[in-house]
């Protein structure tokens, strides 16, 4: 028996945040990241709508990119003191992911972070609060997913929390918020969404309910991402829907080792002054993982279907896989994303020598590979890599060399 779970309500289209006026409750805790939602007036609108609904409102502000375990624990403490019956998370993936983890700790104060990370092992929520996610970026789709990514900076590892319990009760997908994204964020979140859709389509947990969502999202992203990056706001609005469809797919079909590798390399070199931004990591690793997974006959067939749907040509599945990889690499070029870690600059742009020294990468490679093998996303990858294969694959992602194993 399989399961397909989405938020009960999804409000979408311009002005959709006005749906907050209809919420029923006494107290709402609004969780938000940096200053962009306040700068563009959306935070004030959200607070106003909740107050119009008769709620007392308090804020948790300044949730950082790649939210930490400490941020989660501090936010949960604030919730315990305030006692909200609605948690409203606003922004990109980081504040929504952090708020999901805070929600767990708020409902179960004695739970440890390690217990929260047990895959599909979270006890029943909604004893104290319901959860609404308002997305401002077009990539993570965490507003509709059963996942949250939290970083343990002491270990330099990003941990996925995975459980249908943290699927939001309400998602608000309002393209007005996405129109404020800076150009680099459009690129990274867009390729995150593409990776979600591709990995969901070839995942071992794919099904008749997830395939249409994944394949249609891929086509929309193909048609709209580069235009969105170049300032076409109609395409920007469509990308906000496309990423949400991709999220619906992967929340139920799960992901693969592109995400496993991105999770475990993202903060692994933070002591050298930067992170490998999640969406950029996915963009760099996706072509390599497609080449690796295509050694599996069923995965190769499904990549061929993706290529057909995208209209890439090719008379055999082998040709279609090569064309798909080439297309995705061209997208990275169009979005100013590097092809490998070696050329990944501290600002995320391509450069001749990136911020991760070769010697440091090689020293840390065995541990990164081991952590990636153990990541929650690895189990649904169509081809299960050995520890040695994972190390070889990560080397290909560092040097941008061909995957021939």
> What local confidence, expressed as pLDDT, does residue 138 receive?
94
Q: What does the alpha-carbon distance between residue 314 and residue 85 come to, in Å, rounded to a whole number?
A: 54
Four-CA torsion 381, 213, 321, 222, nearest 10 degrees: -130
Tokens matching residue 319: 């040709």
Closest C-alpha among 379, 382, 404 to residue 392: 404
Could you tell me the pTM of the whole model? 0.95
Tokens matching residue 45: 């609108």
Q: What does the alpha-carbon distance between residue 274 and residue 131 come to, in Å, rounded to a whole number?
A: 32
> What local confidence, expressed as pLDDT, does residue 157 receive?
83
> What local confidence, expressed as pLDDT, does residue 117 receive?
93
> What local confidence, expressed as pLDDT, does residue 66 receive?
87
> What local confidence, expressed as pLDDT, does residue 220 receive?
98
Mean pLDDT in consecutive groups of 10 residues from the start of the chain, 405 residues: 95 97 98 90 96 98 93 97 98 95 98 93 97 95 94 86 96 96 96 98 98 98 98 97 98 97 94 95 98 98 98 98 98 98 97 97 98 95 98 98 97
Q: Is the dihedral of CA 249, 253, 258, 260 positive or negative?
A: positive
User: What are the distances in angstroms from CA 386 to CA 188, 260, 263, 362, 368?
Assistant: 29, 14, 18, 18, 13
Residue pair 372/366 in contact by the 8 Å Cβ criterion? no
Largest CA distance in the chain: 63
- Write down the H helix ranges in 20-112: 36-39, 42-52, 69-82, 93-107
> What local confidence, expressed as pLDDT, does residue 34 receive?
82
Q: What does the alpha-carbon distance between residue 308 and residue 320 come to, in Å, rounded to a whole number?
A: 8
> What local confidence, expressed as pLDDT, does residue 278 receive?
94
- Count other Cβ atoms within 10 Å, centred on residue 54: 11
> What local confidence, expressed as pLDDT, does residue 344 receive?
98
């Amino acid at each position: 028996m399989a399961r397909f779970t989405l938020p009960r309500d999804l409000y979408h289209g311009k002005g959709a945040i006005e749906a907050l006026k209809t919420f029923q409750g006494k107290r709402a805790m609004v969780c938000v990241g940096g200053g962009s939602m306040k700068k563009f007036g959306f935070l004030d609108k959200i607070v106003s709508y909740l107050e119009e609904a008769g709620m007392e409102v308090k804020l948790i502000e300044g949730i950082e990119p790649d939210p930490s375990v400490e941020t989660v624990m501090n936010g949960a403490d604030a919730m315990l003191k305030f006692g909200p019956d609605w948690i409203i998370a606003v922004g990109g993936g980081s504040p929504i992911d952090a708020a999901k983890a805070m929600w767990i700790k708020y409902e179960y104060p004695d739970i440890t972070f390690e217990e929260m990370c047990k895959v599909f092992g979270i006890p029943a929520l909604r004893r104290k609060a319901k959860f609404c996610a308002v997305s401002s970026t077009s990539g993570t789709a965490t507003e509709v997913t059963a996942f949250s990514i939290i970083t343990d900076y002491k270990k330099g590892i990003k941990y996925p929390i995975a459980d249908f319990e943290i699927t939001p009760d309400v998602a608000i997908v309002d393209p007005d918020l996405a129109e404020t994204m800076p150009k680099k964020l459009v690129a990274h979140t867009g390729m995150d969404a593409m990776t979600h859709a591709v990995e969901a389509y070839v995942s071992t947990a794919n099904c008749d309910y997830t395939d249409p969502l994944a394949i249609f999202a891929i086509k929309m992203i193909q048609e709209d991402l580069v235009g969105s990056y170049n300032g076409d706001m109609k395409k920007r609005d469509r990308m906000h829907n496309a990423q949400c469809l991709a999220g619906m797919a992967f929340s139920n079909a799960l992901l693969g080792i592109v995400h496993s590798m991105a999770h475990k390399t993202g903060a692994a070199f933070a002591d050298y002054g930067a992170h490998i931004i999640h969406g950029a990591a996915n963009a760099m690793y996706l072509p390599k993982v497609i080449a690796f997974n295509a050694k599996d006959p069923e995965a190769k067939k499904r990549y061929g279907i993706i290529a057909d749907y995208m209209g890439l040509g090719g008379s055999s599945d082998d040709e279609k896989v090569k064309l798909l990889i080439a297309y995705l690499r061209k997208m990275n070029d169009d979005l100013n994303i590097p092809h490998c870690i070696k050329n990944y600059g501290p600002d995320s742009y391509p450069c001749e020598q990136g911020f991760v020294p070769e010697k440091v990468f090689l020293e840390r490679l065995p541990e990164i590979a081991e952590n990636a093998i153990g990541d929650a996303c690895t189990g649904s990858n169509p081809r299960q890599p050995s520890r040695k294969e994972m190390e070889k694959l990560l080397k290909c992602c560092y040097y941008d060399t061909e995957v021939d194993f």
